[in-house]
A and B are shown apart, each in its own frame.
Chain A
């Protein structure tokens, strides 16, 4: 236990500094540097009241300092428009956006491209499964059919001969041969009426002329149902323009016919062993489906150019556009054989690579 009061303390003497008056300064005695610092502070409104009064007194003593003080108001930097070139590289993506952009979008686009290849391109070259050989697709509409000369064309039903032609009886299936005549100069007309049912439209094929083999087709007067088997030795073009009925109709082959009426050909059956080849009906093979036709028309309307649009062109354009928009490295390549015919299509991207054969379903 201590007591500070016990220790002795010094008492300051009353000493005085006699030169005190000589140290006092007046505002007018501020040097230029000191005044400039005050002026700089005043220009920024960062000066206190005491310093401000000193400054005003200094200015009053020397009026030239007024302009000096005002000059500091101009000492202020104006920023240049400096741009950082690498700014956008530092932008980040959220994890969800990253997953969508890197994985989901390319996967979906790849699947879409592959689907486009599969469904659009070779669609017209494929035939429906189960169609018997030698039979054209049921819904096919021929613009022109070429029947070779020795090919007998059979009515897949019976027919009866009426006064004005042959009336087909679709309920009859017994084939009856059409007898040929020896009258090579005779000129005849055969009218084939598909049905006598009033609810069905009546259509006819009118032919005239003489076959090369000298067998003329004449009107039949028999009343009994018959099936017509007409033979010809030369090719006969048959023009078809309109669709009328889904029932089978008769085709008459005649070498010199030039006045065949328009008719729809559906489910035309050739005689056994005389199945028409694909070369015999080329127009059917080249007919595009409605999707491709629509895109072709649209492309023609936009570009004013006639271009061949197929599935590969559509898919390739889609892939290139998507690749350009999203910055993904995707491409669609077509592989051709020595004859220049496409054999495969390959899709490449950073994530997936798919190769699909062309016309793999063609017979």
Chain B
């Protein structure tokens, strides 16, 4: 990858990676640090990464970095151990997309990440599996379970009667 291609990767995918990390962490400073670390890592191996795969490379690297940060901060909430009691709040009267994003914050990290990659970036299950290191079946399961949880949230918060 040339310097010009690297700069294109910054301009074209920088906001996408940042948005993915920011929506996963809900912390703009931490998200900015992770994205910067990711691009620094890309710059160090800029000659080894092909431009055709740089987007998935960026998301993979940023996702792994985010997992490291979350684990370091002991913020990991296991898929099987999330607190469903904290899932519902009074969101009646709010915009549907806004409510969905609030519900997304309450999902387990793995479900949140795969849904973000699916809805925001339009990745296939195979690509999401490559980025997150999960199997394709796991990706599907996380996405379907996450959507069921989001729907239940909407129903229980009276957004949908």
Contact = CB atoms under 8 A, between A and B. Distances in A.
B19 A80 contact: yes
Contacts, number: 85
B7 A91 contact: yes
Interface string B110-122: 0000011001100
A168 B149 CA distance: 115
Contact of A87 (B4, B15, B96, B150): B15
A304 to B, nearest CB: 43
Report the 5 A-B pairs with minimum CB-CB distance, sorted nearest first: A84-B18, A77-B119, A40-B144, A82-B19, A87-B14
Interface stretch (B35-43, B65-73, B80-88): B35-43
A44 to B, nearest CB: 7
B59 interface: no
A75 interface: yes
Contacts of B18: 82-84, 87
Interface string B121-161: 00001000000000000001001110110110010000010
Given A77-B100, A80-B19, A82-B15, A40 B148 contact: yes
A92 B43 contact: yes
A78 interface: yes
Contacts of A240: none
A75 B143 CA distance: 11
For chain B, the bracket of interface size reads 35 or more
Interface string B24-59: 000000001001100110010000000000000000
A97 to B, nearest CB: 9
Nearest to B121: A79
A72 B147 contact: yes
A75 B32 contact: no
Contact of B3 (A75, A76, A85, A94): A94
25 contacts: A36-B148, A40-B144, A40-B148, A44-B144, A46-B125, A75-B147, A75-B150, A75-B151, A77-B97, A77-B104, A77-B120, A78-B97, A80-B19, A80-B23, A82-B15, A82-B22, A84-B15, A84-B17, A84-B35, A86-B32, A87-B14, A90-B39, A90-B40, A91-B10, A92-B3
A37 B120 contact: no
Count chain B CB atoms within 10 A of each CB in A36, A74, A79, A94 and give the residue with the most.
Answer: A79
B101 interface: yes
Interface of B: 3-4, 6-7, 10-11, 14-15, 17-19, 22-23, 32, 35-36, 39-40, 43, 96-97, 100-101, 104, 115-116, 119-120, 125, 140, 143-145, 147-148, 150-151, 154, 160
Nearest to B2: A94
A90 B144 contact: no
A92 B6 contact: yes
Contacts of B160: 71
Contacts of A37: 144-145, 148
A82 B27 CA distance: 12
A15 interface: no
Interface of A: 33, 36-37, 40-41, 43-44, 46, 71-72, 74-80, 82-87, 90-94
Given A37-B144, A46-B140, A84-B35, A74 B96 contact: yes
Which label, helix, strand, loop or mixed, suits the secondary structure of the B interface? helix
Contacts of A79: 19, 119-120
Contacts of B148: 33, 36-37, 40
Contacts of B145: 37, 40
Given A71-B151, A82-B23, A76 B15 contact: no
Nearest to B3: A94
Given A71-B151, A80-B101, A90-B40, 6 more contacts: A37-B144, A37-B148, A40-B145, A41-B144, A79-B120, A94-B4
A91 B46 CA distance: 13
Nearest to A36: B148
B151 A87 contact: no
Nearest to A97: B3
Contact of A43 (B22, B32, B39, B147): B147
Contact of B15 (A41, A74, A75, A83): A83
Contact of B151 (A36, A91, A93, A94): A36
B36 A93 contact: no
Contacts of A43: 147
Contacts of A80: 19, 23, 101
Contacts of A91: 7, 10-11
